[in-house]
Every structure is written in structure tokens, then in C-alpha cells.
Amino acid sequence: MFEVFQSEKSGKYYFNLKAGNGQVILSSQGYADMSGAKNGVESVMKNCADDSKFERKTAANGKFHFTLKAGNGQIIGTSQMYASEAGMENGIDSVKKNAPGAELKEREA
């Protein structure tokens, strides 16, 4: 499920992609309005099937994470940190599996 919400602090809109167990597997940047966040969700759905759009990274602390990029190279979403490379790959697989048919819910701030 995609959850779209407005941050009380910044006033910006964000989305999270959640797995079936409720765990957040992908988070967005801040958008100026709700329609921008919804366009971001559509971009995730469109781009997540292409493995080349996932950029795998290793943080300075040795943990693993990934970003999903649109066709223009802009980052659409960022993962959490994973202790292992295998965990990160499972996260990518989860995005590929969960994003295409995910429902969209708006959460009140």
C-alpha cells in the first residue's frame, strides 16, 4: 500500500510504500502538494519493474540501502538501511512485488 501524508513540521507531502506487514520499504522526498506526491507514486509504479532504475549503495557505516530513480535520473524513493546486502536485495524485490498493484491511501496529518 502507498500511504500519502502531509508533514506537520514542513507542510510538504510525502509517500511511503508499505509491505503487507506494514513495514515501510520505500519513502519519498517532500513534495509541495498532494498531486506531486501522487505523481511520485505513479512514477514508482511505472519504474519499479526495471532493475536498472534501482541504485544500490553502501553507507559509511557499512549498511546497505537503495534508491529508485525515474527515467530522467531523479530519485523517486529511498529505502531504509539494511544490515546485509541480501536484506537490501529483498527490499528491492519487495518494491518490485508490492508497488505495481498497491492501493493509495491518504493519511491525515
The 10s digit of each residue's pLDDT in 33-43 is 999 999 999 99
This prediction has a pTM of 0.92
pLDDT in tens, 72-84: 999 999 999 999 9
Which residues, 6+ apart, have CB-to-CB distance to 96 below 8 Å?
Answer: 48, 49, 51
Containing structural domain, residue 93: 2-107
Q: Which three cell numbers stand for residue 49?
A: 519493474
The CATH number of whichever domain residue 14 belongs to comes to 2.30.29.80
CA distance 39 to 18: 17
**Count of domains forming the chain:** 1
